[in-house]
Structure 1
Amino acid sequence: MPQTSPIVVVLTALAVEYDAVRAHLDDEVEELVHEDGTRVECGRLAGTDWRLALAELGEGAVNASALTAQILGWLRPQAVLFVGVAGSLKDDVAIGDVVIGTKVYAVQGGKLTPEGFHARPEVWHGSNRLVQAARSALRGLDGVRGHLKPIACGDVVLTDEKSAFAEFIHRTYNDSNAIEMEGAGAVHAAHVSGQVEALVIRGISDRANPGKAEADQGGSQERAAARAAEVAMAVLRKHRPRGGTGGSAAPEESARYGGDHIDFRGGVFNGPVIGKRVDRNE
């Protein structure tokens, strides 16, 4: 049986988020293409046993859910992180802080009646193993202000903290510290898979108010994405693959497709995939 590297998938929505994570990978990065066109770049995270598969999915929870499910079925990772930027919902959560989702709410489900709108919340909890790794990681990160708190997710870009939607979030999901668009879709796909630990990590780039555009123009997204990526990599350095160390996962936890192993010996992808390897410059 070949030695295999345990895989963790890191998902992003925006190019700025993708670039922030990719900066942490080693120089031997390889692009893989699913037969349906989805692309990931694979590289090793230095100082860990993890082989990291990085994808940029685009915006929106529905898109995130569909592509996450496809990637999880393709690569069979042990864990999935969604890493990116978000708006703050709390006065004490500042631009540049990082919110790690102990819970992720899908906020738009409900029933509209003559008496008004009645929310029907859906919620997914962050993996306990990953949340515990995050608590430990934050203690060792100088200058990083992290919050292990719930995150609200909806297909709405919130730029008015006094709007009816903002009031609905405050009233119904009062413990949420940040709002974003993709996390619920990704963690739902991980939950349905039944095998994958999941966590959402968001750097705060704005306060979900009319100042969002000005903050974005001032480079807040780049800084928030970099901080979220820094925290995500620190979490993975704390999080241990199942099946032991030494670069080999237990057979039932190894990345598989079609009964074979995905083998990354020497930085080369030797296992079978749906799709093909491509040159990064293609």
Structure 2
Amino acid sequence: MTEAAERSIVKTLTQMCRARGMRDGTVLLDVLVRAHRDSVNVAPSDVPDEFSLPNGLSKGKAADFANEILSAAGAKVSGKRGELLPMVMIVTALPLEADAVAEYLDAIREVEHPTTGSLYQVGRFPGPPAFDVAVVVTAPGNESAAMETERAIHQFHPTIALFVGVAGGVKDDVAVGDVVAADYVYDYSSAKEGEGFIHARVKTAKATYAAIQRARVVASTKAWVAVVKRDSPTSDSGEPAALIKPIAAGPRLLASTGAPTALWIKEHANDALAVEMEGYGFHAALSAYPDIEAIVVRGISDVVDGKSAQSDKAWQPVAASRAAAFALTVAAGLVRSAEAKRSSR
């Protein structure tokens, strides 16, 4: 084992123990080094009592934590104890969006954040390729999305992060049931206001290059359409389109394209196809983690002028399912690409 690899494990061990309020992390070091050297996972029987007992963990939970450290430190483990799969994190704002993602996963279990008590669903996308998925539910708004995304990054150390949910279309280019993968997300609410004037200061977040490239391929091949779990609520709707275009994210729920905020977006973020409330906050949190591939994927559940409770009830679950199918297809492509790069080294 190289000195650089050991330093990476020590650094990750220290950071993760501190982040989760765990004590006596140094007693795990020998176990982690051996597991790395032998290219295997840490088994529950490998965990010393000096670590599990003071931290109130079962041997199984402690072994899971040790394997998270190996994964976060970049250790490639395989062999008779099973392979650590890549971790993909999917952030949603609404329970129905999280439920739509969960329909594509196997072996779902509940995971509780050891410090805050935040609850997550963690399951496995069967592939190919297979990977683990942590589903995060925030609450409406950029601030909540940023906070919960940051918290979940420290919990799961993902290699890929996607925001998946529904949105309202604001241009004729997009129809109900379509999917928009956002190459850019605008924070339209940023402005300078004085007596008698408002000056727009729209802020922009960009998806990562690899995620945009993969989204373009998925959109063009349309393979994701066959994966969708939920049928259209109307018999006359055609095959959904997927577009790689900007969206706008801000604090207001729009019900009319003639509303002042809608007109503001049209003037200052004119190429945005859809409007939602969390995408900019999601990217704000990810901006500190450039190694995590990230993009926002939204299913169009309504067009702003046609929004109604009845339409939302019919289309939101379908739009969320289509967004989940598209996002997971993008994630599979990114995982496949990363595996090919590792095998060629």
TM, length-normalised to structure 2? 0.68
Quote the residue 1:60 is aligned against.
141
Q: Deviations over 1:30-83 (max 9, x none)?
A: 221112011222121112242111111121111110010011122111111000
**Cα distance in 1 for residues equivalent to 2:108 and 2:207:** 28
Quote the residue 1:33 is aligned against.
112
**Structure 2 alignment gaps of length 5 or more:** 1-35, 42-76, 78-83, 226-238
Cα 1:147–1:213 change in 2 (3 A) is same
**Cα distance in 2 for residues equivalent to 1:246 and 1:122:** 34
Aligned-pair distance for 1:230?
1.2
* One-letter amino acid matched to 2:204: V
**Cα distance in 1 for residues equivalent to 2:140 and 2:134:** 19
- Counterpart among 23, 38, 41 of residue 103 in structure 2: 23
Percent identity between matched residues is: 33
CA contact (8 A) 2:173 2:273 kept: no
CA contact (8 A) 1:49 1:245 kept: no
- Counterpart among 196, 219, 228 of residue 292 in structure 2: 196
* 1:124 is aligned to 2:212: no
* One-letter amino acid matched to 1:126: A
After superposition, residues 60-99 of structure 1 pair within 5 angstroms as 60-99=141-180
**Cα distance in 2 for residues equivalent to 1:8 and 1:131:** 16
CA contact (8 A) 1:11 1:81 kept: yes
- Counterpart among 96, 102, 110 of residue 183 in structure 2: 102
* One-letter amino acid matched to 1:176: A
* One-letter amino acid matched to 1:234: T
- Would you identify which runs of 4 or more consecutive aligned residues in structure 1 move more than 6 Å? none
- Counterpart among 275, 282, 290 of residue 179 in structure 1: 275
The secondary structure found in structure 1 opposite 2:193 is: strand
Quote the residue 2:333 is aligned against.
238
The secondary structure found in structure 2 opposite 1:215 is: helix
- Counterpart among 162, 169, 193 of residue 265 in structure 2: 169
The secondary structure found in structure 2 opposite 1:29 is: strand
Quote the residue 1:147 is aligned against.
243
Aligned residues: 247
**Cα distance in 1 for residues equivalent to 2:338 and 2:327:** 21
The secondary structure found in structure 1 opposite 2:304 is: coil
* One-letter amino acid matched to 1:186: F
TM, length-normalised to structure 1? 0.82
Cα 1:246–1:53 change in 2 (3 A) is farther
**Cα distance in 2 for residues equivalent to 1:70 and 1:195:** 17
* 1:114 is aligned to 2:209: no
Cα 1:29–1:214 change in 2 (3 A) is closer
The secondary structure found in structure 1 opposite 2:300 is: strand
* One-letter amino acid matched to 1:125: K
After superposition, residues 259-270 of structure 1 pair within 5 angstroms as none
Q: Deviations over 1:63-111 (max 9, x none)?
A: 1100100111221111110000000011120000001000001110110
Cα 1:161–1:64 change in 2 (3 A) is same
* One-letter amino acid matched to 2:149: T
Aligned-pair distance for 1:241?
5.9
Aligned-pair distance for 1:233?
1.5
* One-letter amino acid matched to 2:331: L
CA contact (8 A) 2:159 2:291 kept: yes
Larger RCO of the pair (alpha carbons < 8 Å, separation 6+): 1
Quote the residue 2:92 is aligned against.
12
**Cα distance in 2 for residues equivalent to 1:134 and 1:30:** 28
